[in-house]
Each structure stands twice: as C-alpha cells, then as structure tokens.
Amino acid sequence: MGCLMNERKQYLYGPVPSRRLGRSLGVDLAPHKTCTYDCIYCQLGRTTNKTIERKEWVPTKEVLAQVQEKLSTKPDYITLSGSGEPTLHAHLEELIRGIKSVTDIPVAVITNGSLLWLPEVQRSLLDADLIVPSLDAESEDIFQYVNRPHSEIGFDQMLAGLREFRRLFKGQYWLEVFLLNGVTTVAQRIQALRACIETISPDRVQVNTVVRPPAEGYAMAVPRDQLEEIAAQLYPGAEVIAPCTLAGEGRPSSEGSDDVLDLLRRRPCSVADIAAGLQLHPHEVAKCVARLLSEQKVRAHAHEGTQYYEARL
Ligand code: SF4
C-alpha cells in the first residue's frame, strides 16, 4: 500500500468526494483554522485565528505549481476552500486566473460569504465558475449564535454582500443553508430565512445539516425527512445535499494521488469517504487507516453511527 509514500502536497487535498461537486481537488488557502467565523457546527473544530485580515496566507506561486502537478488526477472541480475561509487570501484573483490559464476544469469557491461586501473580494472572485456562499441565519441573534463572526462583521452587512455579489457575478451562484435542529428549524425563522434568500435570488439553494462531528456537541442535526420539508419551504427547487454515493473503484492509488494522511489532515473522513475520494478499494483504505492508528498519526471517533478518522495535528 503506497498511500504514505506519495510526496506530500502541502496545500492540496484529494480529489475528495464532495456531496455536490463529484471528485473535488481541494486547495487550502488559509492555515488551519483561520476564518472570519467560528461556526458551532464546523467540522474542522473551533477557530483558532478569527480574523478579517486579508493576506497571502499561503504562497500563491507554490499553490499554482501544485495545482498544475495534480491536473492529471482529472477532478470534476478545483475547489478553493479548505481549513479556513478562502476569501481571506489576498491573491485570490491571481490564483483563480492562474488556474484557469492552465486548465478547463471548473473552479469553485466555497466561502462563508462573510466578506462579499468588500469590493476587492468581489473583484477577486469574478473569474470563478461557481461560488457557493453560506447563509445560516435570518437575524443578527442567530448569526451570532450559529456563526460566531468576527466582531467587525454584522449580519446586515454580510447579507448585503451576498445580494450585491449575486448581481455582479456571471457564473453559477449556489447558496448553502446549514440548518441546526431546534435553532433554525423554528417555523418563524424558516419564513424569515426564506425572505432573505428571495432577496439574494441564487441559482440554487442547497440545504445541509450536521454530518461530521461538529465543533460544539450541542450543534444538532436535523432529521432527513424534516430537512426535505424545510428545503421545500425555503426556495423553489431547493435540494438537500445528498450523501455521497461515489464508490471506490478498487484500483490501487494512481500516481499523484494524495495520501490518506494528507486528506485526514484537512477533514475527518470515514473509510468510504477516503475510498471514494482517492479512488482506492475500501479494504486498502481500512488497512492504511489501521496502520496510521497504530502509529498514532490519526485518531478515530464515532458520530451518529459512523466511524470518522482525523489526523492528530
Ligand atoms: S464552517 Fe466554514 S465558515 Fe464556519 S468556522 Fe468552519 S470554516 Fe469557518
């Protein structure tokens, strides 16, 4: 099993199975865990560097070189996201242009949307193919409770940014709405959220809930049937993001695939997640994970009946 033998790609992970983007080559533009928010449901744990400072958090040239090396893995999307908020990277525009100059693979940016009111952030995203911003709250109170934003970001400003960028951006704009049981499942809040979404008018709305272990144990998942009902109330055609159905193809790690440990440094995954993302047979993944556990490089924890693995940082 050569999963640990591959050269480590410091700023890339995957391709990983994405519930909406197929096989997604992830590009990490902010170090763990640098974000404008500290969401109670975050699968990366609590934010250790809550900031709105935009700077070259990771070296632009190096990231571009690594992306180019990984194009042979033929991902469905090159996705800028990762261990924090990608719009905090000050050279985002150069990065997106650089990627698009070497490949036709579409570029997606998964952002919390907190900085879309900034003209420089708006400009930097215009060349992307798909932007997936988030909206989890309908009021300042719930915004503070769920997203725990940086003190200089207010709900009204954030929402105005989501609307404004929608008007400027010519690509696809999919809004992700993350719902928490007992918090955003209250009827009144659903109606208010719907009103907010209508003013944004995204191409698609995707509804999500807690799937992987959250930063705070009290962030509770919404049951699937309720999620479907709420999606139908929120926006025409709103969809619940389906669990990933990609399956490992049973062939050995292809040249250039990231290793399991690299993937687990970025996010907790089940054996099935790893197998699908790295195109490995689940048995091979299980062996690799067992080895990493015995070497104390990863730890395991169960969440809602599924065993997840994450790297010990
Ligand atoms: S869920 Fe996203 S926006 Fe929220 S804290 Fe985690 S990385 Fe930041």
Mean pLDDT, all residues of the chain: 88
CB of 88 sitting under 6 A from ligand 1: no
Summarize pLDDT for 136-170 with one digit per residue, the tens. Answer: 999 999 999 999 999 999 999 999 999 999 999 99
Mean pLDDT for 74-78 is 95
Task: Give me ligand 1 centre to Cα 136, in Å.
Answer: 11
Query: CA-to-CA distance for 134 and 260, rounded, in angstroms?
Result: 28
Q: Which atom of ligand 1 is nearest to the CA of 178?
A: 1
Residue 301: per-residue pLDDT: 83
Q: Is the pLDDT of residue 239 over 60?
A: yes
Mean pLDDT for 211-220 is 91
Query: CA-to-CA distance for 286 and 297, rounded, in angstroms?
Result: 14
Q: How far is CA 80 from CA 8, 27, 208, in A?
A: 18, 5, 19
Summarize pLDDT for 170-185 with one digit per residue, the tens. Answer: 999 999 999 999 999 9
How many C-beta atoms lie closer than 10 Å to residue 251's C-beta? 10
Mean pLDDT for 245-273 is 61
Residue 245: per-residue pLDDT: 41
Give the DSSP H/E element, type plus range, for residue 77. Answer: strand 77-81
Share of the chain above pLDDT 70, in %: 89
Which among 112, 142, 179, 216 is the best mutation to test ligand 1's pocket, defined by most ligand atoms within 8 Å of the CB? 112
- Could you tell me which residues are beta bridge partners of residue 18? 22
Name the closest-CA residue to atom 6, ligand 1: 42
Q: Answer yes or no: pTM beyond 0.75.
A: yes
